[in-house]
Amino acid sequence: EDNIAYLGVGPRLVLVDVSNPAAPQFMGQSTILGDSLRDLAKDGAFIYGAAGQAGLVVLDVSDPTDIQIANAGPNYSQAQPPNAQQIALSGGRVFVRNYAPNDLVWFELPEPAQPQFSDSLPLGQSEGFGAVGDLLFLPAGSGIRVAQAQDPDETISRIDASGEIYRIRTAVTNNTLYLSYITQNSHLAIYDLTNPAEPQFVSETPFAEFPPLGETAVTDHALITSFTFGEFGYCSTSLTIFDIRQPNEPQQVAESSPQNCATKLVGNGDYLYVVGRSGLRIFDTRDPANLQLVGSYSNPLGVQIVDDFLPGQPVSYFLSSEGSGSKITAVDLSQATLLGELTLPSEDPVFRLLTDTPHLIAPIWNRGLAIFDTAVPQAIQPIYTAPEDNISLGNYSATAVVNNVVYMPVQDRFEFTGELGAFDLQDPANPQLAGTVFTGLTSFATLLHEGNTLYLLGASEPQELVIIDISTPLAPELVSTMTLTQNVRQIAVVGDMIYATCEITVCDSLTVIDVTDKERPFISSQWQIPYDGVAAATADNRIYFLSSNNTIWALDVNDPANPKMVGNHTLPGWYSNIKLAGNTLYVSAGFAGLMVVTINPSPDTGCQDLSATLCQTVWR
């Protein structure tokens, strides 16, 4: 709107000047919101955002270079717990689709920055709703209910469908409404909105000619729908383009790839804006049969999604996936400078970065290892990729690198053998399986290394903790096995103590296991705690657990007999991995980017004494 693209980028709002579509320019960005932005709507100088568990948020964009959070949410007083996914402005109200439960929630706007909860109604199993002007298009069993925004409970007309409505999308040009929806099949219906209170049916495109629907957008010349498919790091979007220069007689004229794993389509004038894993791409639609890419915008470091992060000095590495395969990016964070990048084949998805000393090592799902030469970060070079018939890797969490040896489970593509392999990397171009040890486990959950010992956590019940001696690195030996009484999800090792947390749905305890005598480990104590552990990082006598409710918890274990929780910090969005370097925690957050959290800030960071708290200082 007004030559500005408003982008939800993780838990930030980013503004980009698109007055010259061929050269979009960054204008400004907000500070961090309470969760990632899923959807946006604009009215005057305010952006209204559906921000997941942060609910409904409001941002003042009157100065694009100085965006202010006018209301941080959630604004859900008297409503269900917030999980805002979709948003629209209609009839002077704000409408939000909430998830779990799947409700339509609406708010009055006595003041632009002060939305007030009004009411809600259930949406059943449908993924969304539509809003055009003062009209709402709501799923209603095997049909779509049309209602006025001022009275969402009152039906003014109904559109019958052949089955349960799963998804609704709307796009309007002049008085023509394009209504796309999914039952068991996809549908595109056209309505005349000359009289908004009584939409008049014009025609419908037969479902046999229409691909599955994702998003729908309309420009002055074309109607565009998308279909996105993805799995294991691969993602692809196809666009179906209709010529609508005769609005009531759309003609399918082309199918196209936006070169982006798309999450949103927006049309404005001559241009189609596609956002997704590869950032923003802008297409000229004046010839609907031949869309032309005219410009693009992405994160200056070239990283949109952070699957994993390997901190280093001066070079750090991002692992990301933009749909065409995993991508490894070398950056200098101190200068915010992109150094180099390498995109891997889509058939070799990588989920973790293990180490960059002396080479970058990454496990390939269901394959084995990949090794890269990073001596010149500007030109990352593959040294070794496991052949397809190689020993397979079934769990990337059960892998550890110790000097020039990689320890990982040995299995074929279908079954774990119970053995842990020691792979010699003295020649990184030709790793060799030098030794194995039988663990007695039927599956792995995770593996940790401390000193000359490996600790393996089994995944099958009853869970077992297996202790392996690696004093002779290429000849690992089984020391002992201990059966655990709790369903453990994550373990952390500090000295001769293991700290284990369990699934929060199963228990709420911290189990301390004494492994001073590796042959006779025993549970020394158990404590009730208000969190579980999805991932963990350790430093000195501190453990930093990342929990499933998106919070970092700091645990002081200086006295193992009396561990103390000394701080916590809630993060916006959903997270998967945490790493520690110096006094900084790095949390990989997928679509939300990278969260950087200081744990012992110096006085010039602007943080207060953190003896009992953590302090977030930087994001992305």
**Whats the size of the chain, residue-wise?**
620
- Structural domain contains residue 102: yes
User: Does 132 share its domain with 237?
Assistant: no
pLDDT at 615: 46
What percentage of the chain has pLDDT greater than the value 90?
Answer: 50
pLDDT at 212: 63
Checking if the pLDDT of 610 tops 60, the result is no
pLDDT at 394: 60
pLDDT digits (tens, 9 = 90+) for 23-51: 999 999 999 998 999 999 999 999 999 99
Checking if the pLDDT of 395 tops 80, the result is no
User: Does 75 share its domain with 183?
Assistant: yes
- Structural domain contains residue 533: yes
User: Does 436 share its domain with 574?
Assistant: no
User: Does 34 share its domain with 133?
Assistant: yes
User: Does 457 share its domain with 546?
Assistant: no
Band (291; pLDDT cuts 50, 70, 90)? very high
Higher per-residue confidence, 392 vs 386 = 386
pLDDT at 334: 85
Band (303; pLDDT cuts 50, 70, 90)? confident
- Structural domain contains residue 343: no
User: Does 68 share its domain with 205?
Assistant: yes
- Structural domain contains residue 459: yes
Checking if the pLDDT of 505 tops 50, the result is yes
The stretch 379-408 carries a mean pLDDT of: 82
Given a contact cutoff of 8 angstroms between Cβ atoms, the answer to whether 575 and 550 are in contact is yes
Range of 191's domain?
A: 4-232
CB proximity list for 427: less than 8 A, separation 6 or greater: none
The stretch 591-619 carries a mean pLDDT of: 56
Checking if the pLDDT of 207 tops 70, the result is no
Range in 72-81, 440-449, 509-518 with the lowest mean pLDDT: 72-81
pLDDT mean across residues, the chain:
87
pLDDT digits (tens, 9 = 90+) for 102-133: 899 999 999 999 999 999 999 888 888 999 98
pLDDT at 469: 98
CB proximity list for 609: less than 8 A, separation 6 or greater: none
Boundary-marking domain end, from 433, 462, 481: 481
Checking if the pLDDT of 620 tops 50, the result is no
What percentage of the chain has pLDDT greater than the value 70?
Answer: 92
pLDDT digits (tens, 9 = 90+) for 444-466: 888 999 999 999 998 888 889 99
Band (233; pLDDT cuts 50, 70, 90)? low
User: Phi then psi for 481, rounded to 5 degrees?
Assistant: -135, 135
Given a contact cutoff of 8 angstroms between Cβ atoms, the answer to whether 221 and 243 are in contact is yes
Checking if the pLDDT of 271 tops 50, the result is yes
pLDDT at 575: 79
User: Does 196 share its domain with 263?
Assistant: no
The stretch 7-23 carries a mean pLDDT of: 95
Residue owning tokens 């996936």? 321
Pick from 261, 273, 321, 317: nearest CA to 297 = 273
User: Does 450 share its domain with 541?
Assistant: no
pLDDT at 273: 97
* C-alpha span between 159 and 181 (Å, rounded): 11
pLDDT at 606: 41
Checking if the pLDDT of 14 tops 70, the result is yes
User: Does 400 share its domain with 495?
Assistant: no
User: Does 405 share its domain with 423?
Assistant: yes
Residue owning tokens 């593509």? 413
- Structural domain contains residue 315: no
User: Does 60 share its domain with 198?
Assistant: yes
* C-alpha span between 505 and 363 (Å, rounded): 30
Pick from 312, 292, 287: nearest CA to 377 = 312
- Structural domain contains residue 498: yes
Report long-range pairs for 99-104 (Cβ below 8 Å, ≥24 apart): 102/126, 103/79, 104/129, 104/138, 104/152
pLDDT at 411: 74
- Structural domain contains residue 33: yes
Band (322; pLDDT cuts 50, 70, 90)? confident
The stretch 136-153 carries a mean pLDDT of: 91
Structure tokens at 501: 């947390």
Boundary-marking domain end, from 452, 481, 510: 481
- Structural domain contains residue 383: no
Given a contact cutoff of 8 angstroms between Cβ atoms, the answer to whether 272 and 282 are in contact is yes
* C-alpha span between 320 and 351 (Å, rounded): 9
CATH classification at residue 399: 2.40.10.480
Checking if the pLDDT of 537 tops 60, the result is yes
Checking if the pLDDT of 250 tops 70, the result is yes
Checking if the pLDDT of 558 tops 80, the result is yes
CATH classification at residue 580: 2.130.10.10
Checking if the pLDDT of 360 tops 60, the result is yes
The stretch 296-306 carries a mean pLDDT of: 83
User: Could you give the number of structural domains in the chain?
Assistant: 4
pTM of this structure: 0.85
DSSP-derived letter for residue 324 is B
Boundary-marking domain end, from 182, 211, 232: 232
User: Does 261 share its domain with 120?
Assistant: no
